[in-house]
Amino acid sequence: MIHAPATPMEWPLPRTCPMSQPPALAEYRDGPPREVRLPDGRDAWLITRHADVRQALADPRLSVDDQHPNWPNRLLFPVPARAVSFWRMDPPEHDVYRRMVAPEFTARRTRILRPLIESVADELLDEMTGRTGPVDLHSASSLPLPCIVIARMFGVPDEDMNEFKANTSAILNQAEPEKAIEAFIATTEYLARLAEVRAGEPRDDLLSRLTVDYVRTGRLSGEDLVALVRLMLIAGHETTANQIALGIFTLLDRPDVLAELRADPGLLPNVVDELLRYWSIAQDNVVRVAAGELTIGGTRIADGDAVIISVPGANHDETVFAAAADFDIHRDNSHHLAFGHGTHFCPGGPLARMELEVAISAVFRRLPGLRLAVPSEEVPVSTDTLVYGLKSLPVVW
Residue whose CB is nearest to ligand HEM in the complex, by number: 348
279 binds ligand HEM (CB under 6 A): no
**In the bound complex, what is the minimum distance in angstroms from residue 289's beta carbon to ligand HEM?**
12
Cβ neighbours of 251 (radius 10 Å): 21
Q: Which of 21, 168, 187, 243 binds ligand HEM (CB under 6 A)?
A: 243
- Least distance (Å) between residue 347 CB and ligand HEM: 5
- Compare residues 211 and 283 and give the one whose CB is closer to ligand HEM: 283
CB of residue 263 vs ligand HEM: minimum separation in angstroms? 26
> Closer to ligand HEM at the Cβ: 63 or 239?
239
Footprint on residues 310-329 left by ligand HEM (CB under 6 A):
311
Q: What does the alpha-carbon distance between residue 236 and residue 351 come to, in Å, rounded to a whole number?
A: 9
Q: How would you classify residue 205: left for phi > 0, otherwise alpha for psi between -120 and 50, otherwise beta? A: beta
Per CB under 6 A, 4 contacts ligand HEM = no
Q: Which is nearer to ligand HEM, 171 or 346 (CB)?
A: 346
Residue 232 touches ligand HEM, criterion: CB under 6 A:
yes
CB of residue 36 vs ligand HEM: minimum separation in angstroms? 17
Alpha-carbon distance 283 to 277, whole Å?
11
With CB under 6 A as the rule, give the number of residues binding ligand HEM: 24
- Under rule CB under 6 A, residue 231 binds ligand HEM: yes
Q: How far apart are CA 46 and CA 65, in angstroms?
A: 18
Of 225 and 338, the one with the shorter C-beta distance to ligand HEM is 338
With binding defined as CB under 6 A, does residue 331 bind ligand HEM? no
To ligand HEM, the closest distance from the beta carbon of 344 in angstroms equals: 3
Stretch in the footprint of ligand HEM (CB under 6 A) among 10-18, 26-34, 238-246, 371-379 = 238-246
Stretch that binds ligand HEM, among 4-12, 126-134, 323-331, 341-349 (CB under 6 A): 341-349
Q: Which is nearer to ligand HEM, 282 or 320 (CB)?
A: 282
Residue 288 contacts residue 311 (beta carbons within 8 Å) = no
CA distance 281 to 250: 14
Bridge-based pairing state of the strands 135-136 and 294-296:
unpaired
DSSP string, 14-73: PPSSTTS--THHHHHHTSS-EEEE-TTS-EEEEE-SHHHHHHHHH-TTEE--TTSTT---
Closer CB to ligand HEM, residue 210 or residue 281? 281
Out of 297, 312, 348, 389, the only residue in the binding site for ligand HEM (CB under 6 A) is 348
d(C-alpha 262, C-alpha 255), whole Å: 10
Distance of CA 185 to CAs 132, 161, 178, Å? 35, 17, 11
Q: Select from 284, 265, 281 the least CA-distant residue to 352.
A: 281
In the shown chain, the binding pattern of residues 39 to 78 toward ligand HEM, with x for contact by CB under 6 A and - for none, equals ----------------------------------------
Return the closest-CA partner of residue 324 out of 356, 278, 361.
278
Binding of ligand HEM by 382 (CB under 6 A) = no
Contacts of 31 (CB under 8 A, 6+ apart): 1, 3, 4
Residue 225 binds ligand HEM, judged by CB under 6 A = no
Residues 132-161 that bind ligand HEM (CB under 6 A): 150
For ligand HEM, the binding residue among 346, 360, 372, 390 (CB under 6 A) is 346
Strands 394-396 and 286-290: unpaired
User: In the window 280-299, what residues touch ligand HEM (CB under 6 A)?
Assistant: 281-282, 286
Asked if residues 363 and 370 have their Cβ atoms less than 8 Å apart, the reply is yes
DSSP code string of 144-163 = HHHHHHHHHHHT--HHHHHH
Q: Which of 31, 43, 87, 253 binds ligand HEM (CB under 6 A)?
A: 87
Q: How far apart are the first and last CA of the chain?
A: 47
List interacting residues with ligand HEM (CB under 6 A): 86-87, 98, 150, 231-232, 235-236, 239-240, 243, 281-282, 286, 311, 338-340, 344, 346-348, 351-352
